[in-house]
Structure 1
Amino acid sequence: MKWSPVGESQRIVSLDILRGIAIFGILLVNMKSFSGPDSPIRALSYEYFNQPYDIWTNVLLEFFVQGNFITMFSFLFGFGMILMSERAEANNLSFLPVFLRRQFVLLLFGAAHVLFFWYGDILVTYAVVGMIMLLFYRLPKKALLVTGLVMIAAYSLFMSVLTYEYWTSGAALSYQESLNAQHENEIRKSIQIYSEGTYSEIMQERIREWTDLNQYFLFFLFGILPMFLFGAYAAKKGRFENKALWKLWGLTLVLGPGSKMFAVLFFPYKGEDWRYDTAMSWGYEFGGAMMSIFYICSIVLLYRSGKFKRLFNLFRITGRMAFTNYLTQSIVSTFIFYSYGLGLYGEYGPLTGVMIAVIIFGLQVLFSMWWLKNYKMGPLEWIWRTLTYGKRQKLKRTEESVS
């Protein structure tokens, strides 16, 4: 038997739904960076967008979205890795060469994404973390769970303590004025380049931003890898009964929203003392991971209850083309905001960004519905699988497969 993609009848519907929801959540977060210089804006000690509707949009995004969906997608990658390895074992296939080729192709896609479209790519990270997961994926399921919990708790505590000490030492306030000036200059420069610059200038700026974003990759790794481990644990455990899911739901309700709530409560103290930034650090790292699991439990329980079938079906369809939809979001969004397109970079605040994200995702739902009526998989999924398995995959549906 040779490697081939999973057939449509073998797909796990809940995983496709989760992928679709994760893709929408990632777009909501990424839109702030597509539409403007989000990194230096977030680093300011004051609110750059001072309209109440933009302030509250930011607060709600931080609580419900920021850090919650990149972790969900990480969970799904870890889950998928175990499914792939178990499938290989069951069919006496060689797992490692195909998996490494799969990750290498993903790395190439990520590099092209960074080079030609957007600096905030996550595919390079997933390609690297996936290869690191080869050190862990054979561990017993309980070892995967414990390792992930220890890693995310230690990393989140470390980052929060660093933030707390930075503020309580007096360094934050003493450097605040000069840092604000530096970030304001970065904002002006970024808006000028992305809204008016040539494609070459934008590419240079994109590479610089990607380098800045990933200079602390090892720290970032400890925030992503635990979710891969949790996904691997869930795949090895197999089916979760509703009773177990409800218990996990209750626990992560406390640990997820409970952790992120402090940043909302301490929001008025932003730029004044240690409370907001320390709460934000803990909420983003630990709270984001727990919120992701809380969402996963909620979605699976709702799906099993039979409610919101039509809504879940829309996410299922986009989730089947998650790879294509993720990269398409970057292509469309950068065209809207960059100078080689409509040049609207830096023109709009968070609320407008959310509305644009909803429109883009709605169009992706329609496109995915049309595409999957005619083809078996997304166009970029087809390229990825063809290169991974070393064999041209069937793409167009026949009349028999449609019926």
Structure 2
Amino acid sequence: MDALRTGQLLTGPVTTSQGPTAVAERAVGPDLARGLMLLFIALANSHYFLRGPSVLGGFPQDGSGIDRVVTWVIATFVDGRAFPMFGLLFGYGVAQLVRRQSGTAWAIRFLLWRRSLVLVVLGFLHAMLLYVGDILGAYGVLLFIGVWAIRWKDRWLLAVALVVLALTALPGDSSLSISADPPDRSMLPPDFGTQLAERIVVHPFIALLGPIGFAAPFLIGLWAGRRRILERPAEHLRLLRITAVAGVAFAVVGAQPVALMLARTIAKPTGDTLSLIGPLHDVSGMLGGLGYAALIVLAARRLRRGRVVAAVAATGQRSLTFYLAQSVVWAVVFTPYLLDLSDELTITTTALLATATWLTTVWVADRMRRAGHRGPFEVLVRRITYGSAATADRRSDGVSARPEAGR
């Protein structure tokens, strides 16, 4: 049994980094999951910019019949479901990174702290300049604290994840899925000065409180990464099938009270009921994120490795770059001192914009894959994390010197 799986790190005096995983060694499932979930993230983020006489859960309540259908689809399958899956994959990636290192526990912690620092800084700049709802800063804070969990035994990882999940299910009115707040000045600032002044206050709260929502999937991701479950699905088929069926089913069923309310199929309930269905939507979404990851990894085993699969996987390999690229679109389209379309676009047209944005990033990612270009922000994070080891060999970053690599 290897050191990571037992929760014990090597304690030798030398630290050796093998750098990022090469494309030839990467399993397509996790990359495909990241690429597909970027579509869900685009759909989840973009509708929160919309304004209207009445807003609930980020959806204007005066839309057409088609808007109501789109609202139900997004509230059922997207909102609160994509980000937990990314939390899972984030923890899984940390487990992969640790497994490739040898040396003292402190040396590996400092390696992870360097990565957390660059995520915090990048998240701060992202929030100030593009999108106040940034999650990179929260991931950075989570990693800064989460380095202590890499030595936990498996039962502690799962036990703490279960406790956090249970706390998420407690009644309360903090869920975004039931919020009646319209986009504020930090989201839609009238000018650049107001943007900076508002967001420098809001962003720290998001960065510091965000890890609470990502902690459970992150810890489960660490556990799964120790067993290489997503990389070696053939060895874990029963677990993946149960997770896919149960997770997705619970996510769909658990979303219905909120989804039907947001789609105006049922009336908005009283405050006590709201305080129950909001957390139900959130906790079922966390389980749904696990189910989505399992479902996509299982599907990847059956899919023909053609151009489309390669393009979506290439998007997942560059998920940080294209997550930030989405924010450029939202900033240009919705910011009041730019195009200011928050009052013009509907829920349906915003969903179409999100889908078109994702399809464009998939096309660009495929061009980058064929040309042998890495994601610029992935290069930045890895260079700071690994130092010279990240650039010693182009192939170590997952891109061969030959454009044909990865086909």
> Which category describes the TM-score, using the shorter chain as reference length?
0.7 to 0.9
Change (3 A) 1:401 1:310: closer
SS of equivalent residue, structure 1 residue 119: coil
Over the matched positions of the two proteins, sequence identity in percent amounts to 22
| Alignment partner, residue 69 of structure 1 | 82
| CA-CA distance at 1:127 after TM superposition | 0.4
How far, CA to CA, are the matches of 2:213 and 2:17 in structure 1?
Answer: 36
Q: Which one of 215, 222, 231 corresponds to residue 221 of structure 2?
A: 231
Q: Does 1:133 align with 2:146?
A: yes
CA distances 1:92-143 after superposition (whole Å, capped 9, x unpaired): 9941221111110111100100111110000000000112212222222233
Alignment of 1:54-65 (within 5 A): 54-65=67-78
Would you say the 8 A contact 2:261–2:268 is kept in 1? Answer: no
Paired with 2:402 and 2:306, the residues of 1 have a C-alpha distance of 26
Taking the aligned partners of 1:402 and 1:310, their CA distance within structure 2 comes to: 12
Shift of 1:67: 0.6
Aligned equivalent of 2:116: 103
- Aligned equivalents of 2:194, 2:328: Cα separation in 1: 17
Report if aligned partners of 1:259, 1:282 keep a CA contact under 8 Å in 2.
no
TM-score normalised over the length of structure 1:
0.82
Alignment pair present for 1:298 and 2:298: no
Q: Give the Cα–Cα distance (whole angstroms) in 2 for the partners of residues 228 and 399 of structure 1.
A: 33
- Single out whichever of 275-284 and 125-134 deviates more from structure 2: 275-284
Kindly report which structure 2 residues correspond to 1:4-403, keeping only aligned pairs within 5 A, or say none: 4-33=19-48, 35-36=49-50, 41-42=55-56, 48-89=61-102, 94-153=107-166, 155-158=167-170, 160=171, 162-163=172-173, 194=189, 197-210=190-203, 214=206, 217-218=208-209, 220-239=210-229, 240-265=235-260, 268-274=265-271, 277-306=274-303, 310-391=307-388, 393=391, 400=402, 402=404
Q: Secondary structure at the match of 1:136?
A: helix
- Opposite residue 227 of structure 1, the aligned amino acid is P
Q: Evaluate the alpha carbon distance shift between residue 347 and residue 147 of structure 1 in structure 2; reply closer, same or farther with a 3 A threshold.
A: same
Offset, 1:336:
2.0
- Residue 262 of structure 1 deviates from its aligned partner by 3.0
**Counterpart contact for 1:32–1:353, Cα < 8 Å:** yes
Measured in 1, the distance between the counterparts of 2:121 and 2:306 equals 36
TM-score, length-scaled by structure 2 = 0.81
Q: Given that residues 87 and 217 in structure 2 are in contact (C-alpha distance below 8 angstroms), is that contact kept between their aligned partners in structure 1?
A: yes
Q: Deviations over 1:145-199 (max 9, x none)?
A: 232122202x1232x2x349xxxxxxx9xxxxxx97xx57x76x689x64xx332
1:377–1:395 CA contact under 8 A, matched in 2: no
- Distance, in Å, in 2 between the alignment partners of 1:231 and 1:13 is 17
How many aligned residue pairs are there? 374
Q: Structure 1: any 5+ residue segments left out of the alignment? A: 165-171, 173-178
For structure 2, which runs of at least 5 residues remain unmatched after alignment?
1-15, 230-234
Measured against aligned partners, the alpha-carbon deviations of 1:251-308 in whole angstroms (never above 9, x if no partner) come to 3244322222233355545444247624541333211111111111211111112368
Change (3 A) 1:198 1:75: same
